[in-house]
Amino acid sequence: MKKFSFKDAIEDIINEINLAKLKAESIHKSSNIRSSGDEVEDLIRSKVSLFLPERYLVKQGQIIDDEGNVSNQFDIIIFDRLSTPKFFESRNGTVYYPIESVLAIGEIKKTLTPKHTKEFAKSIYHFKHVMKRKLKENTFHGLSAIKADIRDVLNFDINQKYKNPLYSFVFAIDGILDKTQIGEPIDIFTNDIIILNNGCRFHGAIIDGKFKPLVSDDADKIENILNYKGIPSENLSVFLDVLIRHLNRCKVEPFSISNYISKDILVYNKEKVEAKDISGFRTLDEIKKIIP
């Protein structure tokens, strides 16, 4: 029986993505600029989604908070489908999801240029500092197991500060890694970059001689970056591994829609409220005792 080759599967995906880029460039020349971008983005979203656990969905769109603030458009939004209601989905697949459930955001570029990371930083800043974002603390962080919530002890690492840290990334097909910016302030620049045909960049820390990927929510300051220049199949595999590890260490709290409902709706008008005493009403078991 023929064995399944993960490397062959990855290389097939890479070939599809590169062919889609060539096709998009041809469409772009015919002046159908929007269609040229949509096809590449749709393909990359679908391929990333293939490797994620079933509970996570990969979409494009905007994010909302309970004060009505709306994020910029993101090419990739990854969220926990089990804890997320879908507020609205337009015909082109753009979705609006509550900020509480979002665990990763990404941009897709056919060819990455230095300006792209600057533009993405503006979107990250708006998401982190303008929108009402609620980070859930891991009670086990930096404490002994005795003082922490037992659920956090069982589910999280002692070095993980929050249960729902944000992972941000740029997924580009082509570009030159050495020409991409490492910008300030570091906490609003994208965490990681994958240039499929050139290499990857990861932010993190070197602990005990090993590189540990980090997101800005994990640390007050990220002190190291790792540039990895592999062949396309290696670049994609390493990126997917980092993304999956991030999602698997996160937990989204059960969603409550009450925060999104206008406070006026939740204020009861006493004149419209009528209370009735039903304490004298019998249960089915009580009625059965009287009527055989």
pLDDT tens-place string over residues 19-62: 999 998 887 666 655 555 688 999 999 999 999 999 999 999 89
Query: What whole-number distance in Å separates Cα of residue 244 and Cα of residue 213?
Result: 12
Q: Report the 10 Å Cβ neighbour count for 143.
A: 14
Give me the pLDDT at residue 31, please: 61
**Residues in the chain with pLDDT values less than 70:** 28-37, 85-95, 144-145, 262-269, 292
Prediction pTM value:
0.84
Query: What whole-number distance in Å separates Cα of residue 104 and Cα of residue 52?
Result: 12
Q: What is the 3-state secondary structure (H, E, C) of the chain?
A: CCCCCHHHHHHHHHHHHHHHHHHHHHHHHCCCHHHHHHHHHHHHHHHHHHCCCCCEEEEEEEEECCCCCECCCEEEEEEEHHHCCCCEECCCCEEEEEHHHEEEEEEEEEECCHHHHHHHHHHHHHHHHHCCCCCCECCCCCCCCCCCCHHHHHHCCCCCCECCCCEEEEEEEECCHHHCCCCCCHHHCCCEEEECCCEEEEEEEEECCEEEECCHHHCCCCCEEEEECCCHHHHHHHHHHHHHHHHHCCCCCCCCHHHHCCCCCCCCCHHHCCCCCCCCCCCHHHHHHHCC
Give me the pLDDT at residue 30, please: 63
Give me the pLDDT at residue 36, please: 59
Give me the pLDDT at residue 138, please: 87
Give me the pLDDT at residue 122, please: 93
Closest CA to 124 of 77, 180, 187: 187
Query: Which tokens go with 73?
Result: 């458009």
Domain ranges in the chain? 6-261
